[in-house]
Amino acid sequence: MSQTVSGRLKIGLSACFSHADPARSLFTNKTLQYVEQSITHWLMSAGAMVVMVPCPTGETARGDTKLSHYAEWLDGVVMHGGADVWPGSYGEVPLKDAWVGDRIRDLYDLALVEAFEQAGKPIFGVCRGLQLINVAFGGTLYQDIEAQHPDGLRHRDPVTYDQNFHEVGITPGSRLSKLYPGIDTARVNSIHHQGVKDLAPGFEVEAWSLPDRVPEAIRRRPERGRSYIAATQWHPEFHKFGSTDTVDDTAILQDFLWACATAKVSPRSTLRSAPGRIRNRAARMLKQALLMR
């Protein structure tokens, strides 16, 4: 039986950015915010209603809608994949111009994570989303795995794109291992060249790439008063439904949505009494940074 609208979970999805470009023939010199189709359909496959959370600031901003309003209204948020994380977000200088990333999107994403963290709502990250979450809570990244990690795999192949795969080892005793009982290793897609270098305090690694051991899944330790935060470096939404070529994404999705449903029924108290948890206090920097572009 189909769920009623009121019974469906409302899941936020962070926006991707295409910044204003005077040379673009369509939407010339306009900032575009958008989502990738596969991840919306992945969430909708379990009956969730998906809402893109637009950045509320910028030169065309009007009204008083805030990210905190979305965090209060929605049941959880998924941090989208996409552009590199700017190395300055974790205290480094870009080693190459090609690795400069997207500072504007970083500030928006950090503010979005902060809003949902303060509201006590579940957060799930995919690819860039994992990296951004790690940075938000004090971790660092390899700007390029092949260049900086000894014996690093080729985690991104621009020709094969989502048909580039490798094995991951699942950490025994982790929540992820309980979602996939009896499975020690799994095959996943790999579409990234940056990755976790130093893990954020309070998090644990649930899966490692093999054999170079770059973190592929992380989760915040479930200590008292902490809301759900988990992420995968691979794209679970790119798994072909019914295929056995890569690990089935269903358990990961159901785990996140279960956390959202649980938080909806028994909401956690907000964390507004504990400021300074998110790196750089992004919410206070966001409006100024966007308006200065």
**Judging by beta carbons within 10 Å of its beta carbon (0-12, 13-18, 19+), is residue 121 exposed, middle or buried?**
buried
User: Between the CA of residue 29 and those of 26, 71, 162, what are the distances in Å?
Assistant: 9, 30, 30
**Judging by beta carbons within 10 Å of its beta carbon (0-12, 13-18, 19+), is residue 215 exposed, middle or buried?**
buried
Q: Which two tokens stand for residue 26?
A: 């369509």
- Strands 141-142, 195-196: pairing kind: antiparallel
DSSP symbols for 53-105 = E----STT--S---HHHHHHHSSEEEE---SPPPGGGGT---SSGGG---HHH
206 is catalytic: no
Which of these is catalytic: 16, 235, 239, 260? 235
Which of these is catalytic: 127, 155, 166, 260? 127
167 is catalytic: no
16 is catalytic: no
The answer to whether 168 and 207 are in contact (CB under 8 A) is yes
Which of these is catalytic: 117, 206, 216, 237? 237
Amino acid at 169: G
Q: Which two tokens stand for residue 87?
A: 């190395």
Residue 5 φ/ψ, nearest 5 degrees: -60, -45
Catalytic positions: 127, 235, 237
